[in-house]
Every structure is written in C-alpha cells, then in structure tokens.
Amino acid sequence: MAMTSLALLVAIRSPCAPLRLGLIALLVIAAALSLGTGAAGVSLPQVLGQCLTGAEISTRDRVVLLDIRLPRLVMGLMVGAALAVAGAVMQGLFRNPLADPGIIGVGAGAGLGAVAMIVLSGFLPAAIAAFFGTWLVPVAAFGGAWTATLLLYRVASRSGQVSIATLLLAGIALAALAGALTGILTYLADDTQLRDLTFWGMGSLAGASDMKLLVGGLLIGPALILTPRLARGLNALALGEATAAHMGHDIERLKHRAVIGVAALAGAAVAMAGGIGFVGIVVPHLLRIAGGPDHKTLLVDAALLGAALLVLADLIARLVVAPAELPIGIVTAILGAPVFLWILIRRQGLGGV
Amino acid sequence: MLEISDLHVARGRSDVLQGLSLTAQPGAVTVILGPNGSGKSTLVQAASGALPYRGRIALQGHEIAKTPAWRLAALRAVLEQSNSVAFPFTVAEVVGMGLHAGIEADHPEIVSAALAEVGLSDLAHRPIQSLSGGQQARAHLARVRAQVWQPVSHAGPRWLLVDEPVASLDIAHQLEVMAILRRFADAGGGVVAVMHDLNLSAQLADEMVLMREGRIEAHGPPEAVMRGPILSRTYGCELQVGAAASDGLWVLPQFARPA
C-alpha cells in the first residue's frame, strides 16, 4: 500500500480539499476491493482478522495475497496514475482537453518501441541483451513515446499555437506508421512472441513481476513526483506560448520537461500493461469539472483518480468472465469511449473543437 | 527608458522593420500608430522579447535578447492583441497568473485590486471563457496590471507594453482603459501602446510614433504628429485635423462618396 501512504502524505501536506479526501477514500476502497477479490476466493477481511488476532495465515492465502494480488494491485495503481497524469500533462502542453497519449499516436510510438524490443532482442549480441534484460522493453517504449511526442509537437505547433486538427491528423498518421512498422515486426515474430504481442496490445495487468514493477516504477515514480513542478508553467501555457513567456516562463525548458514527463509516464505504462486507452482523457476531464483546471491540484488528483479507476477497471476485467479475465484495455475502452464522445458533444456548445 | 536603435526584424524572408530607432521615456505614454502592416505590432513584440531581432533593444538598460524571461517579467508586462485561455480558469485565477509572474506574488490582495481597477470584481469567480469579449479583454488587462502592480519598483520604473488595448471595447470602457494607462504613466511607469483610433490616441499620448512600412514617419508630441498632411500621406487617405473646443485635437476622415 505504498501508493496509498504516499497519497495520504500528499493530502496532509497540501490544504485538504474535500475532493482530494474523496479521491483518497476511493483509492483505498478500490485497493481493498482489488486485494479482496479473485478466483482463489481468499477473503481480505478474514486474513486481516487473522493478522490482528495473531492467528496463523495459511501459506496459500499468503501466496495469493502477497505474490499474486498485491503485485497486480501495485501495477494497476502505477499504470493508472501514469496514464492519467500523462494525459493531464499532454493536454496542458497542447492546450487542449482532447490530447491523450493513446489517441494521438504516442501510445502507438511506445508500442512500436516495445514490440521492436520483444521481437528483435534475439538479434542483439547476447551480452547486451543479458545486461539490459527486462529493462530493454520499458526503455524502448520510453524512446518510442518520446520520439512520437516530439514529432507531434513539431508538426502540430505553428508559432506557438497548436492546431488540434493538425494534432489529431498527425496522430492518426503517426499511429498508422507505427502500426505498419509493428506489423512488419509481427510478421517477423515467432509463435510465442506473437501470442505475447496480441495480448499485450489489448492491455493487461496480469504478469506483474517484481522486476517489471521495479523498472516501471523507476520511470513512473520520479515522473509522478516531478510533473507537479510543471503545474505553474502549464497553467500559464493555457494563455498561449507567447503570453506564458511574457509572464516569465522558460517555454522551451517547460516543453522539453513536459515531453519527457509524458514519454516516461506513457512509455512505462504501455511497456508494463500494453494498450490501455481513455484513462488519460477521461480522468483529467472529470477532475476539471469537479475541481477546476488548475494544474497544481489537477496533476496530483489525476494520479489518485487514475490509479483508483484503473484498479476498478481491472476488477471488472477479472469479474465479468471469471475465472477467465478480459483484457483491461477492452474494459477501459468500453467505459471510456462513450465518455470521450460525451466530452465532444458538450464541447460543441462551447464553439467546437 | 526603452532604447531601440537600428532595429531590424524579419518576418519570413523580408525585413518588416528596417533600421528603426526610437526612445521612450518612463512617466509618459508613447502611442504607436500607423496603417495595417506598418510594423506596429512587430515593434512591440520585438520589444517584449517575443521575436528575434538585429540591432539593440534595451529596457531599463537590459538588452532584451540577453535577459532571461523571469527577469523581464519583473520589469514589464505585455498585453497581446488577442488573448485566449485554453481551460476554464476563473477570472481571478488568470489575474493571479499575472501576479505570480511579477515581484509582488506574496500580495494576493493585488488580484482583487486589479479586478476592481478594470471593474470586474463581481465576475472574479466566473470562468473567463463565459465572459463577453470586452470583459475578457479587461480581465487580461487586469492580469497585466497585476504583473507590474507598482509602476515603480526598487529597481526603477516598470513598463506596460500593450497592443491595441481598447480595440474590442465600447467607448466608455475605452476611456476607462486609457485612464488606467494614464495613471500608470503618471505614477512613474512607462507605457507603450499600439493604437488604431487617432482621436483616442491624441488624448492619451504624450509621445506619438507614426509608422509606415517598417519606418518611422513622424515622432513627437501629438501637436507635432497630428497634422493633416502628415496623417494623409501616411495613411494614404484624406484626413482633416482640427482643434477641439475643449482641448486637444480631432481627426475627421474625408469620405469621398463614389460617383
């Protein structure tokens, strides 16, 4: 429950809005439900009761809770927080609430990097492959996400203004290109790799290994801690690049840091859990409605709500077809896509996109 | 003092400004006038540090191109011609961004004072996007004012560089905004304003700079610049100038009804 205690720490440090407290409560409930639910039928209250009374906990219960459910929960928290914050930062950077790493091709870029590593790592000299090991995939995904975000920003911004039409179209082109290259790699892949790729593409929190959590955490943790420092700059950027510069912000530095932050968060999330869409767009949007657009609160709240919602989505993915499970990307798409459409409909009242 | 000498600014392949020199003093309102495309906005944008340039622009002795953004922000605030806000920030939040850009960030009461100055106190907590165009323009003026709230800091005079500050306002609010700029200059600050309305400019300006095709056509107090032949030549149309009964000058365009 490291994430929860971190959340509590954040809450104590900053003046506590009711929204923040509600989000923390939601996160705790989601985490408890996730730990207490599963095919093995181990009950969390029962185990906690045994802990309190000092009774012996069976090896089976311990293995199910600590080795199966806990890593999966931690991965869900990390990936959910990373996706939501990546979305919020990207929307601030592009000055548009519809920018989302998954929609405009950054996820595809990260995916290409990751797939390239899964398929091609066999061609690397054995010494290098052994040295990087599990690191290769997240680092390649980070590289792919970073390249895609930079490319998008170059293409879509003209003298400081970002055209959302250009952005979305460039994102489609980028995703198509990344998809085609991924296709070539898929063609090269052997049977085991193919299976990995297919399920990975639909997103899943299964297969959370300690190594995966460590590597992902090393990208996501610092990025989550550092992105709130961009808050004031992102707020100013809402008034346009020129105005933000007039108000004393070093725009180039701000953009670089935001791009690296998005790449680290989206890249790590994609590398760990595959294609999980709509978290990055739905979470910040709901929070702007509930608590306003100020990035000083938005970036922290997005981490909390993103983590909670992804854990709940994973719970749904595990429950609906139990004892099998749905890929979580399907759950977030079924729930998230209608919200995305709803945002579009609402925005038409404000003068369109 | 704002000192500009031998300024060249390129837009695309051609130089919009070609060897322009100009000095503006704090404690005065310098109004920049000229037909569309004469380089007024380019001049103000270069002076605010938004455009690369050749030559010299120094504000209170700081060469603009070599001064970091945060230091410039303490020295001058810039109101651009058009302003848009991407997310539903409240009016007070937007003005607060201006305040945090300046050196008085630990005085949050300046936000309400700036809003009172532009007459928007009642709308402080409304999303800025829900305001009318004129109200939004005044909110952005309040943001800019909050950034350089005291016209003179311990480091010397501070500056307002404003591009068409009254363009989207009705006549009463145009006069209010002019009064805000006037007070800022009278208190020792420097004001450089790009304007289109010759009559309002005549009443606001201490110094007038009349531009055409990237060069200065005329420069001086309104009485020296506001002359029929000079204005007619610069704007390329017949303009008659007269003395107002109250005080100051007026301009009347001579409309030739098509035969």
Count of domains for chain B: 1
> What's the CATH number where B49 sits?
3.40.50.300
What is the chain B residue with the closest CA to A232?
B97
- From chain A, pick out residues whose CB is under 8 angstroms from the CB of B101: 236, 246-248
Q: How far is CA B57 from the centre of its chain?
A: 17
- DSSP state for residue B61 in the 8-state scheme: T
Asked if residue A335 is part of any domain, the answer here is no
What is the chain A residue with the closest CA to B81?
A243
Shortest distance between the Cα of A92 and any Cα of chain B, in A, equals: 9
Q: Which of B49, B87, B101 sits opposite A238 (nearest CB)?
A: B87
The values of phi and psi at residue B190, to 5°, are -105, 140
Best A246, A250, A296 residue to mutate vs chain B (most B CBs within 10 Å): A246
- From chain A, pick out residues whose CB is under 8 angstroms from the CB of B86: 95-96, 237-239
Asked if residue A342 is part of any domain, the answer here is no
Q: How far is CA A324 from the centre of its chain?
A: 24
3-state SS class at A64: helix
Of A117-131, A187-201, A275-289, give the range with the top mean pLDDT: A275-289
A296-339 pLDDT, tens digit each: 999 999 999 999 999 999 999 988 887 788 888 889 989 888 98
pLDDT exceeds 60 at position A8: no
Q: State the pLDDT confidence band at B156, using cuts at 50, 70 and 90.
A: very high
Task: Indicate the pTM of the whole model.
Answer: 0.88
User: How many beta-carbon pairs under 8 angstroms link A with B?
Assistant: 74
Question: Average pLDDT of B117-140?
Answer: 95
Asked if residue A340 is part of any domain, the answer here is no
Q: How far is CA A143 from the centre of its chain?
A: 16
Angle between helices A328-348 and A191-202 (to 10 degrees): 40
Q: Which of A40, A35, A39, A38 is nearest to A51 (CA)?
A: A35
Shortest distance between the Cα of A20 and any Cα of chain B, in A, equals: 19
Asked if residue B10 is part of any domain, the answer here is yes
Q: Which of B229, B194, B197 is nearest to B209 (CA)?
A: B194
Q: Which of A238, A251, A292 sits opposite B85 (nearest CB)?
A: A238
Neighbours of A290 (CB within 10 A): 14
Asked if residue B186 is part of any domain, the answer here is yes
Asked if residue A350 is part of any domain, the answer here is no
Shortest distance between the Cα of A166 and any Cα of chain B, in A, equals: 17
Count of domains for chain A: 1
8 Å CB contact of A232 and B93: no
The domain containing residue A236 runs over which residues?
2-324
Neighbours of A296 (CB within 10 A): 14
Asked if residue B258 is part of any domain, the answer here is no
A52-83 pLDDT, tens digit each: 777 777 888 888 888 888 999 999 999 999 99
8 Å CB contact of B129 and A250: no
> What's the CATH number where A205 sits?
1.10.3470.10
Q: What is the ipTM of this complex?
A: 0.93
pLDDT of residue A302: 97
Q: Which amino acid is at A64?
A: V
The domain containing residue B150 runs over which residues?
2-253
| Cα separation, B69 vs B72, whole angstroms | 5
